Structure 1
């Protein structure tokens, strides 16, 4: 019997996955564990490996098509094997119906839906329509039962742009100076996933960023004082980032509302802290996750951060290591940046931006001293938490970093 290959679930909030590219065609031989397609969600892109050896009998989800997790995207079996009747899912039938309906579309003007009609539209299509300021009542759906698909919205956006261009030409008859020739780069793969995810994050959350200065003079002194002992005893080096991560984890345990996620109109408060660390790569940004970071000692946390960062840079992270985070840290200090506005990693409530440490003269009582200052930027979802409790969390992080010995007790 043919083996079904499913759309994987790439995160707890994932509602739809998209096939980015098929590496194989129908009729090709595939080996067990061989990558046959790339799929992406709003968060990451991964390769789907064949669960069995055989022939790619049928592709049920074409490139660019979005389907819910658990949907059959293809079948693997013996050459010439027939797929058992009823084995294909209803989603497969919907895909076929969509393609057939598109081919049969004509220039006939169809009646606009009345206000009493219930508009059937997929969640992705609705987001696209809202972003493009389109009236969904005027979009003709080609999906099953007249359901509006993302292809219908894309066609409507195309027609809207064409109309706007024609209207602009009528108004302005002045010849337009041709643009200089440019290099064009197609937005695809992880870059496309990041672009869509960041856009959706800003469109669908109420983001606010607050900043604070932290005096880390004592922390840096402690780091230097313990460096030799840590190296000899644990064969490790503690960095300022390690201390920041530890301070964040402890503070999240005391401010649980910041360690939360808004999912389907419900705020989920997490008891454990699963810490995401943003890592910049050549192709984009990935966020490996330290699971149960609240159960780690400072040394354990430091080691985990280094291992995950190394795996990210070598492209060795698997899907499980990039999902489930409850709070994220993004560090741009290595680039000399002080304050910045980090964008939320949905469905998380908060993300902490870490800037570069700088020295400045500061009055300590009546005495002027040279002190090391760390800029921190906290972005939070105002739908979940208000400014005062968010500021209290950031103040708690500051307290731990300014009195680092308290993180070791």
Structure 2
């Protein structure tokens, strides 16, 4: 009996996932545990393994299709076996899982009588969306997908035929005028479709810049005393694999304390409401080869410096070890991002909506600083605060940044 490849739940807030790439094609033999299809949620991209050995006998979701969790992406069975998606049973273990499933689309009311003898059209979600946008009648489209399924490419081809038929016939032109202009030589560059995590990031960042009023303030912090204090703290503290007391840990603690003092920065702007929080859920951006994720340290305001250090280090290891399903990647009220290890100074971080602020940390450099008439070499660190001007004005944002700076320049206060 055919076995379903199910869209899994990869996070607490996940309700649907996107098909990134099929690693096997219909008719290909597969072994149990072999990667079959790559999928992604808002934060995670992973490969699904075959639940049983057999043949990939059907593909229900095309690339870029958005599928509710618990629904079938495809089927594995015996060679030559056919499956009816309407009657296929969900495996018992899957049926017992409580997974949120998007409601099935309701048919639009029609005044015309409907014949129950007509076969139901098999249409991918992406094809249905395109047909609606392009005003293409799906009943006129011939499906080329598995079991006659109408794909997005089928709808696009039907749309092209309609447009071509509607084009006016151009008058004949002299031969010399009909010669097309020379085209540029084909480029040797490689073209790659934007999918998975990169697509999610691009959409979120574009939306952030389009729907918020972002402004960036910058300042420089003298972290000479902080670096000395951090070294002494590391020597005094019993170092282990979970706690290292890095500069990032001290920055996180300085930001948390500042958010408790300037609560307007610890807010979310959603719709036409601003929600301000007493507790701090701090997002700490982690760069990966394929993109960026933001693990969240929940209730960070109630944690000690060592506890914060432990959580940040654990989250970074899990993210870089592709164990994102073990992390909480949503629910932050403020975010820190750093390009310090890349040698970047000031930059303009983009807000992670619906948050109203994000702090960018640049690389520490040695600079000459005047103390009265005396010039000394000091370790200086650039900070860039981007805030949503819809929710916060410049003066309170500047006051918050000044408090972060003061906290970092008096590091002993961070452990009191």
What TM-score results when the alignment is normalised by the length of structure 2? 0.69
Match of 2:44 in 1: 44
Q: CA deviation at 1:58?
A: 6.5
Q: Give the structure 2 partner of residue 72 of structure 1.
A: 71
**1:6-405 equivalence runs, <5 A:** 6=7, 8=9, 10=11, 12=13, 17-23=17-23, 37-47=37-47, 60-67=60-67, 69-70=68-69, 72-74=71-73, 91=104, 98-99=123-124, 139-140=134-135, 175-231=182-238, 236-318=243-325, 320-405=327-412
In structure 2, distance between residues paired with 1:229 and 1:357: 24
Higher Cα Rg, which structure? 2
Q: What is the root-mean-square deviation in Å for CA atoms of aligned residues?
A: 4.4
Q: Give the 3 Å change call, closer, same or farther, for CA 43–294 of structure 1 in structure 2.
A: same
1-side partners of 2:156 and 2:84: how far apart? Answer: 36
- Any conservation in 2 of the 1:98–1:142 contact (CA below 8 Å)? no
Alpha carbons of structure 1 residues 182 and 82: separation in structure 2 relative to 1, 3 Å = closer
Change (3 A) 1:87 1:372: same
Per-residue deviation, residues 206-249 of structure 1 (Å, max 9, x unmatched): 22211111111221221233331124699843221111011112
After TM superposition, the structure 1 stretch with the greater mean CA deviation from structure 2, 252-261 or 209-218, is 252-261
State how far apart, in whole Å, the 1-side matches of 2:344 and 2:125 are: 52
* Aligned equivalent of 1:130: none
Return closer, same or farther for 1:344/1:319 CA change in 2, 3 Å cut-off.
farther
How far the C-alpha of 1:293 sits from its partner, in A, is 2.1
Cα drift, residue 366 of structure 1 = 3.8
Q: Distance in 2 between matches of 1:280 and 1:292?
A: 23
3-state SS of 2:237 partner: helix
Distance, in Å, in 2 between the alignment partners of 1:330 and 1:272 is 20
Counterpart of 1:374 in 2: which secondary structure?
strand
1:291-345 deviation digits (Å, cap 9, x = unpaired): 3322221111112222222222222232643333332211111121110111222
Q: Would the alpha carbon gap of residues 385 and 40 (structure 1) be closer, same or farther in structure 2, given more than 3 Å must change?
A: farther
Write the distance in 1 (CA, Å) between the matches of 2:388 and 2:239: 43
Distance 1:355 1:101 in 2: 42
Secondary structure of 1:294 counterpart: helix
* Matched length: 358
In the alignment, the residues of structure 1 paired with residue 34 and residue 267 of structure 2 have an alpha-carbon distance, to the nearest angstrom, of 37
Tell me, in whole angstroms, the C-alpha distance in 2 between the residues paired with 1:142 and 1:48.
34
SS of aligned partner of 1:248: helix
Please state which structure has a larger fraction of its residues in helix.
1
Q: Give, in whole Å, the separation in 1 of the partners of 2:242 and 2:12.
A: 35
Q: 1:337 to 1:140 in 2, by over 3 A?
A: same
Query: Any conservation in 2 of the 1:9–1:70 contact (CA below 8 Å)?
Result: no
Mapped partners of 1:226, 1:234: distance in 2:
16
Could you tell me how far apart the structure 2 residues matched to 1:323 and 1:101 are? 27
How far residue 400 of structure 1 moved from its aligned partner, in angstroms, is 0.6
Residue ranges of structure 1 left out of the alignment (5+ in a row): 104-121, 126-135, 145-149, 164-169
Alpha carbons of structure 1 residues 179 and 58: separation in structure 2 relative to 1, 3 Å: closer
> TM-score w.r.t. structure 1 length?
0.70
- 1: CA distance between counterparts of 2:12 and 2:275? 15
The alpha-carbon deviation at position 407 of structure 1 amounts to 1.0
User: Structure 1 CA distance, aligned partners of 2:398 and 2:325?
Assistant: 35
Give the distance between the partners of 2:206 and 2:137, measured in 1 at CA.
26
Aligned residues of 1:57 and 1:74 also touching (Cα < 8 A) = no
